[in-house]
Amino acid sequence: MAMIRTMKDVEERRIKRIKDFEERKANQTFISPAFVSAYVSNFQLADSDFFRYMFPISGTLQHGLIFLDFVAGMKKILTMRAGLVGPSGGSFYDFTVKEGYNRIKPSIPIPAGTRLALGFINVPEKMEVRGIWIGFTFATQGVLTLDEDVEALEIDENA
């Protein structure tokens, strides 16, 4: 027996499909790549952190750009340390930076919940910079469901 569909039935089915699609899409996030940027002014250099960030989802730290604006007469080359502490441990990456633009390409995999801290090490005396600009890209692997990534983080912490 053939089913007769009214315009109302067709419209209701179309609206239900749209609502179902929007519901599925609401749990997904397209954040590839994400851009993180910060500025620090009039910073006294010492063996301490000047920038901290936590990655809420898994991905890869890809490209970075750092601009240093030193106060006149200051040392022009320093060692910067990036400390990464995540659910399964931590690691440090040291790199040399100079006054002006500094490009880095770390390509480091980052699990959800990893904390990043940037600072200078082996600073010989108190030094001051007028400004530090930081920008980097963070790429996720495909489409991520935030709920699943957060659940994975909770499982790792309880293990």
pLDDT digits (tens, 9 = 90+) for 9-40: 878 888 888 877 777 666 555 556 788 899 98
pLDDT digits (tens, 9 = 90+) for 133-146: 999 998 886 555 55
Residue 9 domain flag: no
Residue 61 domain flag: yes
Residue 23 domain flag: no
Q: Using 50, 70 and 90 to split pLDDT, how confident is the model at 48? A: confident
Residue 155 has pLDDT above 50, yes or no: no
**What is the amino acid identity at position 80?**
M
In the chain, % of residues over pLDDT 90: 23
Q: Which position has the higher pLDDT, 57 or 137?
A: 137
For 72, other C-beta atoms within 10 Å of its C-beta total: 5
Range of the domain at 150: 32-158
Q: Using 50, 70 and 90 to split pLDDT, how confident is the model at 122? A: confident
Number of domains in the chain: 1
Strands 144-145 and 49-54: unpaired
Overall pTM > 0.75? no
Residue 2 domain flag: no
Q: Using 50, 70 and 90 to split pLDDT, how confident is the model at 3? A: low
| pLDDT on residue 159 | 45
| pLDDT on residue 149 | 53
Is the previous residue joined to 87 through a cis bond, with omega within 30 degrees of 0?
A: no
| pLDDT on residue 42 | 80
Residue 128 domain flag: yes
Residue 27 domain flag: no
Residue 17 domain flag: no
Residue 12 domain flag: no
> Any idea what the CATH number is for the domain that residue 88 is in?
2.60.120.260
| pLDDT on residue 132 | 92
Which tokens belong to 105?
């390409």
Q: How far does CA 123 lie from the centroid of its chain?
A: 27
Half-sphere exposure for 3 (CA within 13 Å, toward CB) = 5
For the chain, the average pLDDT equals: 79
